[in-house]
Amino acid sequence: MALAGRTAALWARLRSPRLPPWLLSACERRYSSRGEEKLDMSTYPVESIRNFSIIAHVDHGKSTLADRLLEITGTISKTDRNKQVLDKLQVERERGITVKAQSASLFYNHEGTNYLLNLIDTPGHVDFSYEVSRSLSACQGVILVVDANEGIQAQTVANFYLAFEAQLSVIPVINKIDLKNADPERVEKQIEKLFDIPTNECIRISAKLGTNVEKVLQKVIEKIPPPQCNIADPLKALVFDSTFDHYRGVVANVALFGGEIAKGNKIMSAHTKKRYEVNEVGILTPNEQPTHKLYAGQVGYLIAGMKEVTEAQIGDTLFLYKQPVEPLPGFKSAKPMVFAGMYPVDQTEYNNLKSALERLTLNDSSVTVHRDSSLALGAGWRLGFLGLLHMEVFNQRLEQEYNMSVILTAPTVPYKAVLSSAKLIKEYGKDEITIINPAQFPDKFLVSEYLEPTVLGTIVTPHEYIGKIIALCQDRRAVQKDMLYIDENRVMLKYLFPLNEIVVDFYDALKSLSSGYASFDYEDAGYQAADLIKMDILLNGNPVEELATIVHNDKAYATGKLLCECLKESIPRQLFEIAIQAAVGKKIIARETLKAYRKNVVAKCYGGDITRRMKLLKRQAESKRLMRKIGNVEVPRDAFIRVLKRETD
Amino acid sequence: WPYCRKRCSYCNFNTYVVPAVDEAAVRACLVREARALLRLSQVQSITSVFFGGGTPSLASPRTIAAVLEAVAEAAGLPAGAEVTLEANPSSTDTTRLAGFKAAGVNRLSIGVQSLDDAELRLLGREHTAAEAQGAVEAARGLFPGRTSIDLLFGLPGQSRDAWAQRLEAALRLCDDHISLYQLTLERGTALAAQVRGGTLPLPPQDLLADMYQTARTLLVAAGFRHYEVSNFARKDALSSHNLSYWRADQYIGVGPGAHGRFVPRGEGSCRREARVQTLEPVAWMREVQSQGHGTRSRVVLSPLEQVEELLTLGLRTDEGVTHERWGHFSPQLSLQAVFGAPGEAQALQEQGWLLLDSGGLRCTWAGLAVLDSLLPDLLCQLQR
């Protein structure tokens, strides 16, 4: 929380002069490690450098192992308070996940040689898989941590394949051997079966107690090759993360694949083609520590007057101005996969929420923000996220760090339509459009096909739940791609899911039918053709614009029924009967009837508490004014909120 | 009189079950507060008195007499003034009733609630159906034409037929006034907890509507005038005291938790106030003893708030809000000017819930049953 707290406090001070923070950096520069001598990094040649990551399923002990490594190498002092040192955000510590990758350089003497070990932390969830892959591309090896009790889980598999595809050395580590139910032998066999790593290569450790952790460091030096690069080459730096500092602008985390960099160098971004002058370079220990230079093979940070995080996009390559190099492969801009509407609970909070969103997105360029407004919910935004967890984490950070409570609508996914109408193609200037808002959904006769995003999901579960899980997946229109016993009683399933089938409650359903034992992870798997339709919701025959949804034909009836039932529960009875219908085109596919009030009058009303009664009536009169009228039907804001959040009970 | 022998399972009124009541002290305080507030109001003549509670029939006739004497002394109580006492069948033997009559009571409202023993047990009442019947007969002997009974409907598990049977029995027993209340499951009561906990069923909305319609039809056929949402009378036996609430007349509340609406002319004010007396009896008594009255809150009602109350209360009656009553509160802007213009009221008239004519503004037969759905619309229009 130190990071966020500092940012907020500085912001408050900065608001009045209305000066961009980076302009102030010259006169009020701040270093997190003031007064320290600048390090000379030239004493660490490429041969004595190891760049590695730790990858693991949630809660398998990645951050605890990182804490121990930091302690052993003297990077941080050894105290009881070292709990998830690299996880700086409250949400990270609470959820046991890493949202924002942090890195640390460790100094370690092994058999008389001083080594520079760069631990490059990765975000701990596949929503951030692109960021993970960029972090991994700065490494030559990974420590794969698996819980000795839980064994291989869905995220272990996903992470392993990311490392495997990047051709990195993998050091398997079995953690939590101190636990009573630990069964490291079983886990070693799983690793052998699934990843083809001999059982004797696994290191059994307890990160909590420090058991065998030193051995891990030795293996890192022995098994992971030094980076293949040369100081004599021109500068080639990979941006693998970036943060925003209100005084100094963007702080970019970089890995040098060639050359060297120092203050005063003129550099250029391969992606934006913008030019900068380097103000500061340094390493992370894990706080920023300035150095004279950074050399090929090393990992650190640089500050070069970049004003927005979008200028230091993850995966971008930096090089010396007038000495262009071939950019590192694999760069792509963050692509939102899940969209949700966000509205202030109270419209008077709009401006506060707006500034909170602006501040939060300063540090997270992967969130896309578009202004939106709803007749029922007022002015708000349509936000795009990398995935579900990303969305939840973002929302939680808004609440925790900015004290904002918001209405977040149920997430939707970006559909596509391949246009067949020449007129529309001309209008859009392309023959394939992305549809985020149901209002943009083109009619069937104008398109040759609709497309929906898919993901490849990995599920690891004790075998007794297979039947139920297969049924759940089929219900979600998923297609089985693989099924493998990883030991006598654990199964790994792979399914191709339409993304929209997992965005609302899939994970909860999976957890509840497996008593919490099944784990799930997924990765982007592109688009597939889908029989999509637009469904309208009608109240007494009048469409409710903000409740229109895009659904798959197979799911239209079930979704329509659900929405109608939810509305029936949330609209108060009125003086006339209300037909709540779901319609596709002119065809009604579901209907609920809300009966008229036949009796609604308080029984006793004498001289007693008329004041309280008047207050209640006036509150009702007041809320009537705020209700949205669909034809003659009055719909309270709460009804929209419940339906848009897909709350059912 | 805020005390009861036992709390009923459906009741959330301001009542207290205590082992012993210092009746002399309570009496002295009631008398003192009545005097003080009457003086403050400078009312010249009292048209009606209502002893409610609690269980006022647990008080002794002496206490009732003392209060009535104080009222007569402070403001004048004409011989014809209606004096009602709320009574429970379990505390109304003939001798007691005669005592109340001698003290000045001339109308009795008996909390019969049901004429079925199982239902009475469910409601946590102390009496049986037979006892209720005896109490009503005794009361009718002493207060002929001026005995009212209360009945509850919509009890958990009660069927429409069972309710119709209770009504038939009540019609055989009753005098010329009857109040029928739909049971309200008030928060914090034992009955509401049982319904929420699932041990008792929640009566369905449509059944409640049917029960209400059944009762209205049956009573009107038996010659009763349905003069207020829950009140029926024949031979002109309307409760003039309760009518004064619905006509938004002035009233003074005396005793713990009592509410009043009057202009404190004794202070030189000419603005109507909403007043509430201190809720808890011991604290109330302390205040009366130290300052003459236990008024806990007083709020001046704006002209808009006054007509809002008039509308909310008046529309509960069959006469509705008359032009005359409206004019009393709003001499400038007539009923016609407010609700005759296009708007909510006109729409509600077109839909058949409301009537505005030479008699005033009132609900139709169908509209009365859904009045609480009409009021927010009317208040919106009024506020404009």
Domains of chain A: 41-223 (3.40.50.300), 236-320 (2.40.30.10), 338-408 (3.30.70.870), 415-530 (3.30.70.240), 535-645 (3.30.70.2570)
3-state secondary structure B352-365: CCEEEECCEEEECH
Q: How far is A646 from chain B (nearest CA, A)?
A: 25
pLDDT at position A403 is 83
Q: A431-464, pLDDT tens digit by residue?
A: 999 998 888 899 999 999 999 999 999 999 999 9
pLDDT at position A143 is 95
Mean pLDDT of B146-168: 96
Mean pLDDT of A108-129: 81
Q: Is the pLDDT of residue A27 over 60?
A: no
Q: Is the pLDDT of residue A93 over 90?
A: no
| Residue A12 touches chain B, beta carbons under 8 Å | no
pLDDT at position A23 is 32
Q: What is the C-alpha to C-alpha distance for residues B286 and A152, in angstroms, rounded to an integer?
A: 74
Percentage of residues in chain B having pLDDT higher than 90: 95
Q: How far is A154 from chain B (nearest CA, A)?
A: 42
State the virtual CA torsion across A473, A477, A482, A484 in degrees, nearest 10. Answer: 10
Say whether A525 sits in a helix, a strand or coil.
strand
Q: What is the C-alpha to C-alpha distance for residues B262 and B277, in angstroms, rounded to an integer?
A: 13
Q: Is the pLDDT of residue A34 over 70?
A: no
Mean pLDDT of B98-116: 96
Q: What is the C-alpha to C-alpha distance for residues B179 and B110, in angstroms, rounded to an integer?
A: 10
Q: What is the CA radius of gyration of chain B?
A: 21
Mean pLDDT of B265-289: 95
Task: Check: CB of residue A387 under 8 Å from CB of residue A337.
Answer: yes
pLDDT at position A101 is 53
Percentage of residues in chain B having pLDDT higher than 70: 100
Q: Which residue of B has its CA nearest to A634?
A: B377
Which contacts (CB < 8 Å, 24+ apart) does range A354-362 have? A356/A398, A356/A402, A356/A404, A357/A381, A357/A398, A359/A7, A359/A8, A359/A11, A359/A402, A360/A394, A360/A397, A360/A398, A360/A401, A360/A402, A362/A244, A362/A308, A362/A309
Mean pLDDT of A478-487: 94
A358, exposed or middle or buried, with CB in 10 Å at 0-12, 13-18, 19+?
exposed
pLDDT at position A29 is 33
pLDDT at position A243 is 82
Between A178 and A128, whose confidence is greater? A178
Q: A372-390, pLDDT tens digit by residue?
A: 888 778 899 999 988 877 8
Q: How far is A594 from chain B (nearest CA, A)?
A: 12
Which of A573, A605, A621 is nearest residue B379 as measured by Cβ atoms? A621
Q: B364-382, pLDDT tens digit by residue?
A: 999 999 999 999 999 999 9
pLDDT at position A564 is 96
pLDDT at position A33 is 42
Q: How far is A577 from chain B (nearest CA, A)?
A: 13
Mean pLDDT of B353-370: 96
CB pairs under 8 A between A and B: 100
Q: Band of the pLDDT at A648, cuts 50, 70, 90?
A: low
Q: Collect all residues of chain B within an 8 Å Cβ-Cβ radius of residue A610.
A: 259, 261, 274, 309, 312-313
pLDDT at position A11 is 27
Q: Is the pLDDT of residue A542 over 90?
A: yes
Residue A243 CB neighbour total at 10 angstroms: 21
Closest CA to A466 of A455, A456, A474: A474
Q: Band of the pLDDT at B265, cuts 50, 70, 90?
A: very high
pLDDT at position A359 is 81
- Check B182 against A599: CB less than 8 A apart: yes
Q: Is the pLDDT of residue B70 over 50?
A: yes
Which of A599, A618, A621 is nearest residue B208 as measured by Cβ atoms? A599
pLDDT at position A91 is 59
For residue A286, whether the previous peptide bond is cis, meaning omega lies within 30 degrees of 0, is: yes
Q: A561-610, pLDDT tens digit by residue?
A: 999 999 999 999 999 999 999 999 999 999 999 999 999 999 999 877 78
Q: Is the pLDDT of residue B154 over 70?
A: yes
Q: Is the pLDDT of residue A532 over 90?
A: yes
Structural fold of domain B23-244: TIM Barrel (3.20.20)
- Check A610 against B209: CB less than 8 A apart: no
Q: Collect all residues of chain A within an 8 Å Cβ-Cβ radius of residue B53.
A: none
pLDDT at position A492 is 95
Q: Collect all residues of chain B within an 8 Å Cβ-Cβ radius of residue A607.
A: 245, 251, 253, 259-261
The residue extents of the domains of chain B are 23-244, 250-298, 317-383
The residue length of chain A stands at 649
Q: What is the C-alpha to C-alpha distance for residues B201 and B187, in angstroms, rounded to an integer?
A: 16
pLDDT at position B194 is 94
Between A14 and A291, whose confidence is greater? A291
Q: Which residues of A480-505 are buried (b: 16+ CB within 10 A; e: fewer)?
A: eeeeeebbeebbbbbbbbbbbbbbee
| Selected residues 556-615 of chain A with any CB under 8 Å from a CB in chain B | 573-576, 595, 597-611, 613-614
Which of B184, B242, B372 is nearest residue A600 as measured by Cβ atoms? B372
Q: What is the C-alpha to C-alpha distance for residues B49 and A605, in angstroms, rounded to an integer?
A: 17
pLDDT at position A328 is 85
Mean pLDDT of A185-212: 94
Q: Band of the pLDDT at A103, cuts 50, 70, 90?
A: confident
Q: A41-70, pLDDT tens digit by residue?
A: 888 999 999 999 998 888 888 888 988 998
Partners of residue A245 on adjacent β-strands: A249
pLDDT at position A334 is 67
Q: Collect all residues of chain B within an 8 Å Cβ-Cβ radius of residue A616.
A: none
Between A122 and A436, whose confidence is greater? A436
Q: Is the pLDDT of residue B78 over 60?
A: yes
Q: Band of the pLDDT at A206, cuts 50, 70, 90?
A: very high
- Check B383 against A597: CB less than 8 A apart: no
State the virtual CA torsion across A92, A96, A97, A98 in degrees, nearest 10. Answer: 50
Residues of B at the A interface, defined by Cβ within 8 angstroms: 181-184, 205-206, 208-209, 212, 229-230, 242, 245-246, 251, 253, 259-261, 274, 276, 299, 305, 308-309, 312-313, 316, 351, 353, 368-377, 379-380, 383
Mean pLDDT of A394-418: 86
Question: Which string of DSSP letters, residue by residue, matches A222-272?
Answer: HHSPPP---TTSPPEEEEEEEEEETTTEEEEEEEEEESEEETT-EEEETTT
Q: What is the C-alpha to C-alpha distance for residues A87 and B124, in angstroms, rounded to an integer?
A: 60
Q: Is the pLDDT of residue A95 over 60?
A: no
Task: Check: CB of residue A288 under 8 Å from CB of residue A32.
Answer: yes
Q: Is the pLDDT of residue A26 over 80?
A: no
Q: How far is B310 from chain A (nearest CA, A)?
A: 11
| Residue A396 touches chain B, beta carbons under 8 Å | no
Mean pLDDT of B166-193: 95
Which of A598, A610, A621 is nearest residue B206 as measured by Cβ atoms? A598
Q: A285-339, pLDDT tens digit by residue?
A: 888 899 999 999 999 999 998 988 778 888 889 999 989 999 887 666 667 888 9
Mean pLDDT of B136-164: 96
Between B5 and A8, whose confidence is greater? B5
Q: Collect all residues of chain B within an 8 Å Cβ-Cβ radius of residue A574.
A: 373
- Check A603 against B230: CB less than 8 A apart: yes
Percentage of residues in chain A having pLDDT higher than 90: 51
Q: Is the ipTM of this complex over 0.90?
A: yes
pLDDT at position A86 is 59
Q: Which residue of A has its CA nearest to B305?
A: A614
| Residue A621 touches chain B, beta carbons under 8 Å | yes
pLDDT at position A155 is 85
